[in-house]
């Protein structure tokens, strides 16, 4: 519907409502005034009849000798006088001829029999019980008009006539008003009012159309100006607005400013789109951007290479057409969109006709305010190779950190052996009893042997028995295992984990030993007892295990040596526990770090990548 039509309809509706309200008010006033007049005339007629009846009774009573002594005698006499008075009937009929709405006037006795009437055929019969005209006047105007238009119902106006001592009236004067006369009198006025309302409505339509055209004229100019701005036209000269009204000139100026801003925004959007397309062209990952209606609006060249389709042909198509729900990739994407939750590095199989399936890592990220969806596809094999290279680099770095301590431990025994050999050489000639020195040499050689063996264990490749392991369950098992030792050291051992499983891939025994080393270090660090808290939780891509103790903390000078082989602060410690833990974590592509504050304890944090499930 056009603006002109809507404006015309609005004006017509507004005028129709006003005309209807005014007509209803006038109609109500007309019917009220007219019915009030009828009521007043009917009551006047009833009072006139009452006066005539009382006058005739008074005249006849004066002629009765002796006069009645009791009320009952008076009632009988009055009834006989009224029923036999022919002149009274003539007077009643004469009174009725002056009232056009009145069809009948009756005077009835106590029992309801008609004594005097303007209709001779009704005399002696029981008076009719008709609806009260006063009650009809109290109804809504629509109800009154509806009743007049559909029936021939008569109404009555009554006036009692009696004495104060009598509860029931001796006579009842009934004035009957005809609905036919009422309708004939009022309907012409209603028709006249309806014609006036209809004429007013027709005039309003013409005036509305004229007003709409007059109001739409400036809007048409504004619409043309907006079309020009939308098409990228240049701003008009300000002099072109001089011939227009002041308001239109102001709007023209504002539209020119708006046109400049829109063109600037379009240029920025074009520049930004060009930058995004250039960035996508340099990316190895396939990036596809869908709008809120799931239609593809942008994709990088990597998507064309990875999916084997022409990007130009699929741009603008629906997500269901590009990634059918029947395929594993399409099912995973649509499930993530339907749940409204992002998915990261979800391993799926891409199946293409005539080619072997490709393993991809899929990420689905809904945009803010549900304005679209960003889908990223990565080659899982290439990423696995890259992760393997990083893993090798981590192993080499870990071994480098450990060899420094090993070299230091080898150097000291060798120096001791050299010194003892020199002493032995000088003493053997003069003192043949040199067994003590020889024993020292033997002990140092055995210690050197242990160091070399441990070093070889660290440098020898480890074959991992890889399986899926629940990190939370494994940590709970370790805490149960060391609970007796914790009780002996007066340590309160606490464990907590999230309800969901934290599944990682690794060697169960090696991971168990790594966790056990950290937990036992925490227990032994609290010599006077304390609290040891073990927590397992799941982040977006990692399983995280924290082990916190209330011990004395690690001195600042020892923090860089904690994971070195043979470094220990315990009297009987071997110095290989945390080094082995460090190696085990590295072999599982994880990380281990800690924070420590003197006097407040230490928190170790072990982090492992969670297992990726294939769709």
- Tell me the DSSP string of 22-68: HHHHHHHHHHHHHHHHHHHHHHHHHHHHHHHHHHHHHHHHHT-SSPP
Question: What's the average model confidence in pLDDT over 174-182?
Answer: 78
The dihedral through the CA atoms of 559, 563, 565, 566 has a sign that is positive
The first and second tokens of residue 447, run together, are: 């210690």
- CB 51, CB 88: distance < 8 Å: no
What would the mean pLDDT of 147-163 be, rounded to a whole number? 77
CATH class of 273-385: alpha beta
Q: Can you give the pLDDT at residue 511?
A: 92
Residue 241 in this model has a pLDDT that exceeds 60: no
* More reliable by pLDDT, 427 or 470: 470
pLDDT at res. 494: 93
Joined tokens for residue 558: 């020892």
The tokens describing 350, both together, are: 């891409």
pTM: 0.36
Residue 603, classed as helix, strand or coil, is: strand
Range with top average pLDDT, 301-315, 388-402, 580-594: 580-594
User: If you average pLDDT over each of 75-84, 251-260, 411-420, which comes out highest?
Assistant: 75-84
Tokens for 296, please give them: 């593809």
Q: Which of 118-122, 273-277, 544-548 is least confident?
A: 273-277
What per-residue confidence (pLDDT) applies to 389?
A: 42
The number of residues making up the chain comes to: 615
* 332 burial via Cβ count (<10 Å: 0-12, 13-18, 19+): buried
Among 379-393, 418-432, 516-530, name the most confident range: 516-530
What pLDDT, on the 0 to 100 scale, is given for residue 388?
A: 46
> What is the tens place of the pLDDT at every residue in 558-613?
887 777 766 676 655 566 778 788 888 888 888 888 888 888 899 999 999 987 55
Beta bridge partners of 364: 343, 375
The answer to whether residue 249 scores a pLDDT higher than 60 is yes
- Contact at 8 Å (CB) between 576 and 565? yes
pLDDT at residue 97 in the model: 72
- How far apart, in Å, do the first and last CA atoms of the chain sit? 51
Q: What is the pLDDT of residues 89-145, one digit of tens each?
A: 888 888 777 767 788 888 888 888 888 888 888 888 888 888 887 887 787 877 777
Nearest Cα to 576, choosing from 513, 499, 528?
Answer: 513
448 contacts 490 by C-beta, under 8 angstroms: no
Q: What does the buried/exposed string (b/e) look like for 175-190 if buried means 16 or more CB atoms within 10 Å of the residue's CB?
A: bbbbbebbbeebeeeb
pLDDT, the chain, mean: 76
Which of 48, 42, 19 is CA-nearest to residue 137?
A: 42
Of 61, 95, 96, give the one whose Cα is nearest residue 81: 61
Q: CATH 3.30.565.10 region(s) of the chain?
A: 462-609
Q: What percent of the chain lies above the pLDDT cut of 70?
A: 70
3-state secondary structure 413-470: HHHHHHHHHHHHHHHCCCCCCCHHHHHHHHHHHHHHHHHHHHHHHHHCCCCCCEEEEE
CATH of 462-609, one of 3.30.565.10, 3.30.230.10, 3.40.640.10, 3.40.50.300: 3.30.565.10
What is the structure's pLDDT at 295?
Answer: 86
Q: What are phi and psi of 56, to 5 degrees?
A: -65, -40
Strands, sheet with 601-609, edge to edge from the N-terminal-most edge strand:
491-497, 530-538, 542-549, 601-609, 591-597
Nearest CA-CA partner of 543 in 611, 595, 603:
611
Mean pLDDT of 39-60: 84
Taking the CA atoms of residue 550, residue 556, residue 557 and residue 561 in that order, the dihedral angle to the nearest 10 degrees is 60
Q: What is the pLDDT of residue 602?
A: 92
Residue range(s) in the chain whose domain bears CATH number 3.30.450.20? 273-385
Helices (H), 539-607: 577-587
Q: Which pLDDT does position 164 carry in this prediction?
A: 63
Contact 173, 44 (CB under 8 A): no
Beta bridge partners of residue 238, listed in sequence order: none
């Amino acid at each position: 519907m056009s603006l002109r039509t809507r404006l015309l309809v609005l004006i017509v509706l507004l005028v129709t409502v006003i005309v209807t309200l005014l007509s209803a008010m006038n109609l109500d006033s007309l019917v009220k005034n007219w019915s009030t007049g009828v009521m007043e005339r009917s009551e006047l007629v009833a009072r006139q009849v009452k006066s005539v009846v009382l006058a005739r009774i008074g005249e006849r009573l004066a002629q009765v000798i002796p006069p009645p002594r009791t009320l009952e005698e008076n009632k009988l006499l009055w009834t006989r006088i009224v029923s036999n008075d022919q002149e009274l009937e003539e007077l009643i009929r004469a009174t009725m001829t002056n009232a056009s709405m009145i069809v009948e006037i009756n005077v009835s006795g106590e029992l309801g029999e008609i004594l005097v009437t303007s209709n001779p055929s009704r005399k002696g019969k029981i008076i009719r019980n008709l609806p009260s005209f006063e009650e009809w006047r109290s109804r809504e105007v629509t109800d009154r008009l509806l009743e007049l238009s559909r029936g021939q119902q008569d109404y009555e106006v009554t006036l009692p006539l009696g004495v104060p001592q009598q509860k029931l009236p001796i006579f009842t004067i009934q004035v009957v008003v005809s609905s036919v006369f009422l309708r004939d009198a009022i309907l012409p006025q209603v028709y006249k009012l309806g014609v006036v309302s209809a004429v007013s409505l027709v005039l309003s339509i013409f005036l509305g159309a004229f007003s709409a055209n007059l109001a739409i004229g400036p809007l048409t100019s504004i619409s043309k100006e907006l079309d020009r701005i939308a098409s990228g036209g240049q701003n008009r000269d300000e002099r072109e607005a001089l011939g227009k009204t002041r308001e239109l000139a102001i709007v023209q100026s504002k539209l020119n400013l708006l046109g400049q801003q829109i063109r600037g925004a379009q240029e920025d959007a074009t520049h930004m789109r060009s930058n995004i397309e250039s960035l996508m062209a340099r990316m190895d990952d396939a990036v596809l951007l869908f709008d809120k209606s799931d239609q593809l609006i942008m994709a990088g060249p990597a998507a064309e290479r990875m999916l084997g389709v022409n990007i130009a042909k699929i741009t603008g198509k629906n997500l269901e057409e590009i990634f059918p729900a029947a395929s594993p990739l399409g099912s995973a994407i649509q499930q993530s969109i339907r749940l409204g939750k992002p998915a990261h590095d979800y391993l799926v199989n891409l199946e293409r006709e005539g080619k072997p399936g490709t393993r991809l890592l899929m990420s689905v990220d809904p945009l803010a305010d549900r304005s679209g969806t960003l889908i990223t596809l990565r080659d899982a094999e290439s990423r696995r190779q890259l992760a393997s290279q990083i893993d090798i680099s981590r192993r080499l770095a870990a071994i480098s950190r450990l060899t420094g301590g090993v070299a230091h431990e080898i150097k000291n025994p060798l120096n001791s052996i050299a010194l003892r050999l020199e002493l032995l050489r000088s003493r053997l000639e003069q003192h043949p009893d040199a067994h003590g020195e020889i024993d020292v040499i033997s002990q140092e050689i055995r210690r050197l042997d242990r160091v070399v063996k441990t070093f070889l264990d660290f440098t020898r490749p480890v074959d991992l028995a890889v399986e899926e392991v629940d990190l939370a369950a494994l940590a709970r098992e370790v805490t149960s295992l060391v609970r007796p030792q914790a009780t002996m050291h007066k340590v309160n051992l606490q464990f907590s984990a999230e309800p969901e499983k934290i599944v990682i891939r690794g060697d169960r025994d090696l991971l168990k030993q790594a966790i056990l080393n950290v937990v036992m270090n925490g227990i032994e660090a609290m010599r006077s007892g304390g609290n040891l808290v073990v927590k397992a939780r799941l982040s977006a891509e990692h399983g995280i295990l924290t082990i916190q103790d209330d011990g004395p903390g690690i001195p600042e000078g020892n923090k860089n040596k904690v994971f070195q082989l043979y470094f220990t602060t315990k009297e009987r410690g071997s110095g290989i526990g945390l080094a082995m833990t460090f190696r085990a974590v590295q072999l599982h592509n994880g990380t281990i770090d800690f924070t420590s504050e003197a006097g407040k304890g230490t928190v170790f944090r072990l982090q492992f990548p969670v297992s990726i499930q294939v769709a």
